[in-house]
Amino acid sequence: MFNRLGHFLVRRRKTVLAGFIIAVIAMGATGSLIFARLDSGGYSNPKSESAKAAKYLTDTFKVKDPAIVFAIDAGRSVKDPTVAMEVVRIESELRAEKEVEKTISYWSSGGSPALASSDGKAGYLFIYTVQKDPLAAKDLAKKLQDKYDGKVVSLRIYVGGFATFNYAISNRISKDLAVAESISIPLTFILLLFVFSGLIASAMPLVVGLSAILGAFFLLYLISLATGVSIFALNLVTGMGLGLGIDYSLLMVNRFREELHAGKSVEQSVAQTVATAGKTVFFSGITVMITLSSLMLFPQMFLKSFGYAGVTVVAVAILGAIIPLPAILALLGVKIDKLVVRKSAITPKEDGRWAHTARNVMKRPVAVALLSLIALGVLASPIKNAVFSQVDSRVLPATNKASIAAAYTLSKFPGQQGNPIEIVIPNGGSMTSEVSAYATSLAKVPGIISVGTPEAIGKDIRINAVHSMGSRTPEAEKMIREVRKLSAPKGTLVGGVAADYADSQAAIAKVLPRALGWIALGVLILLFMFTGSIILPIKAVILNVVSLSAMLGAMTWVFIDGHLGFLVGKFTNTGTIDTSMAILISVVTFGLSMDYELFLLSRIKEEHDLGKSNVEAVATGLQRSARIITAAALLLAIVFAAFITSGVTSIKELGFGVAFAIILDATLIRALLVPALMRLFGERNWWAPKAMKRFTISH
């Protein structure tokens, strides 16, 4: 099939290329609309108890969260008449905004103690907008932050809240993405000149990478018409698009040159390239897609978005590598070696440094395997200190206005008045004594500083409980578990931001085994089909798990233990790693590792099928593929490492985690452990029951 596709692409190369250009322009024009539809939220589990409570509060009690929160520091008693006059004027201005539905403050509520700071010199002003979703008011948040954040007459105003955080993080990520690309793209292009050894050949990744990014934007736009898509998904699209463009182009161009230099015609070279490297790209891409699709199993929109982004960008990258790229190679022919930078690198060597490395490793396989595993164990050891949580305002730089507002609020106010625990008791009006006893026991839960008077609408009861700690912290999660252990009236629903966080963490823990099972099963089946071996897929999965443990250990060492600050830059150390980001990094790096695994195994198997011994097949396979894997890994690591420059901590984690894992995989794992284990298993590497052999593909 792939051979026939190669011949077809040669014969129709101009038509294929013209169609590709038209498709890319159309996808780019439509895909640009995705930017206005992205969301910075999506951490909630929509099927959780807290989600049911939120729906009850909205539908029955008509409760809305404030989109924007002003913390107003008067510098004197909030009861001072001049302070009240100034705040009344500000509230009047705010109510005149067409997007503002209402405001509530310490001063307009009649001096509610819950809305005053612990020292009595500051008060809250809550702003409710006409939008149903508080996060949607980020334009208003920007406007109000620009106008009010800072000194206003004699008051110092700190502007925070959900919409303000949404605006701050969206704005920061957009700017950081531009900075990361301004660093990675020029640097990557310079390195591509040396890796591809020529100016013309080095342009090939742009064909695949650009089409992958624009195609993914187009598909994400279509997806966004039906469901939410996180703004964080943009980082994965650009990183994976450029990275896979490099990976797949290197594999295809290298094989095309190899066939040309073997004396074959341009058409034969293209056909053989598609039949070998193209087939590898297809299967490795499908493996990555299966891995990334596991993110869609999680209920949170944030993680689902990365699943959508990953699957779409990989799918388009595969198409870009096996359709327009061969057509371009057919048009270029021997001109692919024009404008050469390094003549010595354009002709693949039968024997060389990588083959010698493999043979040396296979002379001492036990020692190499043991030392490699010890090194990986040392890297993984800090994982014992890992604590997982979710992002809050501290994910932003400490100098960001939204982050400053959140820090001020936490230090000055006795509790999370803007984010209380919201408890709904359907038909609670008929259970007065039970409700009263429940409220009393609720006040005794560690972390809760006040419990409001039960509010009734019809037969339903609502209770607010203010807590002292941040809503998205391990401490808040523990508090919610204690609340839910209490003897409560039948049908009680515990909601609010802290409960939403606890439910999200619980959902991740519940779905994670299923997601891991999906990845393992999919990868084992595909690798078996590709290699015809039972041993190699199992070994590949185990090695990847070990590699991921080392990566998570390194992330713990940096982002929790606080090392390598000079490398990753300043960030607020919360003592935790973002749970969702840790899962994303693990899934992405697992997928990319399998990409490199297939690159390597495809050449080893090809050599083994030609009759070479296990040792020689490994040596030759490593010689033919290790340069590609190492170069691709280095370039991909640079693309992701550029994200370390971001001011958003979770994006720093993404950049560091993926870059570290890729480099580790391409060096210690592929160059040392894989050859050592291949030598130890010998011909058993290729074993499988005869009855199963018919389910494998022919190479």
Beta strands of 498-619 (E only): which ranges? 577-578
Ranges in the chain annotated CATH 1.20.1640.10: 1-38+196-348
DSSP state of 107: T
Q: What is the DSSP string of 32-70?
A: GGGGGGEES---S-TTSHHHHHHHHHHHTS-----SEEE
d(CA 287, CA 541): 12
The total of other beta-carbon atoms located within 10 Å of residue 436's CB is 11
User: Residues for the chain: how many in total?
Assistant: 699
Give pLDDT tens digits for 83-123.
Answer: 999 999 999 999 999 999 999 999 999 898 888 998 999 99
d(CA 489, CA 432): 10
- Total-model pTM: 0.86
The pLDDT, as a whole number, for residue 339 is: 67
The pLDDT, as a whole number, for residue 349 is: 61
The pLDDT, as a whole number, for residue 594 is: 87
The pLDDT, as a whole number, for residue 89 is: 96
Per DSSP, the three-state class of 285 is helix
Which parts of the chain register pLDDT below 50?
none
Give pLDDT tens digits for 517-544.
Answer: 999 999 999 899 888 899 999 999 999 9
Instruction: Collect contacts of 115-118 with beta carbons under 8 A, ≥24 apart.
Output: 115/417, 116/78, 117/73, 117/78, 117/412, 117/413, 117/414, 118/412, 118/413, 118/414
Mean pLDDT rounded to a whole number for the chain? 89
Percent of the chain with pLDDT over 90: 55
| Distant-in-sequence, close-in-space partners of 675: CB < 8 Å, separation ≥ 6 | 357, 358, 361, 362, 365, 368, 618, 622
Ranges in the chain annotated CATH 3.30.70.1430: 67-160
The architecture (CATH level 2) of 398-503 comes to 2-Layer Sandwich (3.30)
The architecture (CATH level 2) of 67-160 comes to 2-Layer Sandwich (3.30)
What pairs with residue 456 in β-bridges? 461
What Rg do the C-alpha atoms of the chain give, in angstroms? 29
The pLDDT, as a whole number, for residue 348 is: 57
d(CA 193, CA 29): 30
Give whole-number Cα distances, 486 to 49, 53, 166, 443, 465, in Å. 15, 17, 34, 11, 14
Residues 469 and 479: beta-carbon distance below 8 Å = yes
The total of other beta-carbon atoms located within 10 Å of residue 267's CB is 16
CATH code for 1-38+196-348? 1.20.1640.10
Looking up tokens 């490994």 gives 618
The pLDDT, as a whole number, for residue 551 is: 96
| Distant-in-sequence, close-in-space partners of 364: CB < 8 Å, separation ≥ 6 | none
Least Cα distance to 3 among 274, 324, 327 occurs for: 274
d(CA 644, CA 461): 48
